[in-house]
Amino acid sequence: MARHLQIGAMALLTLGFLLPSIPAAADSSWKEKTVITLTVGATVETLSESEQSVSLKENVARIDDLKSGVARIVNFQTRQEIILNFGAKTFALLSVSEMMQMDKENREQIKADLPAREAGLSSVPESERAKVAAQIEAQKKRFQAWEGGYLVTPTDRVETIDGYTCKLYQGLSKGEVFQELWVAENIQMGDDYGRFYKKGMAELEPYDSAYLMHLPSPPIKTVTHYGAVTVTKTVSRVLTEKFPIDALLIPEDFKPAQTIR
């Protein structure tokens, strides 16, 4: 049985405020897989792979990282977020503004560290130096791409991906194409996706989800190039079925987390 909880004097919110405002609407869910690769010369190396499931009920989304066992429950209307750690059985309640500030601070720290990383290349073993240099350059290109005026334009190319008829859109920064967005325009995600999810995620993750605001439907495949680094995200198992309201509540045996950093 789920319960409504509140963090003492902070009085952030109860879980009741996280519940959808109009629960009669259709739910949506899908899976996302992200693979990051590095290409140096003729060698292609997988740097990381991750997978998450996303469930959307009205103005509330639950996003589960299937590898780490951490879930985020975001209310795009009240602008509050719950973070559930299933391994530690803990939860944290924050505002969307707090999450955005933490993300911004993390980006700024990465950017501030780049000159020192470049200066230290000479101390990197020669066998690894080209790879490390390529990753540093890719990080610089990532910042340049998203800070250079983002634009999305449609093309005439159409392909079938995972059974969906997809139209190619291109993401550009300063007039240069760096992103391929394969959009399944025949997928019906419902009003919630457009009213809450696209705008909310573009705000929460400006470097990773900004393209959502420029597309009529979700992209089944997104390929983003930052120099030698390529980020490929694929979407699968798109469903419009109801899921239990308990999925949006804090489990009864979870305790407040001491920190989420």
Residue 260 binned pLDDT confidence (cut-offs 50, 70, 90): low
Residue holding tokens 């998450």?
Answer: 52
DSSP letters for 220-246: EEEEEEETTEEEEEEEEEEE-----GG
Please state, in angstroms and rounded to a whole number, the distance separating the CA atoms of residues 197 and 55.
10
Kindly report, residue by residue over 122-144, the tens digit of the pLDDT: 999 999 999 999 999 999 999 99
Kindly report, residue by residue over 153-169, the tens digit of the pLDDT: 999 999 999 889 999 99
Please state, in angstroms and rounded to a whole number, the distance separating the CA atoms of residues 204 and 186.
26
Q: What is the pTM of this model?
A: 0.85
Segment holding 63, helix H or strand E: strand 60-65
Three-state DSSP state, 115: helix
Kindly report, residue by residue over 206-230, the tens digit of the pLDDT: 888 889 999 988 899 999 999 999 9
Q: Which ranges of the chain would DSSP assign to H, the alpha helix? A: 96-119, 126-146, 191-192, 198-204
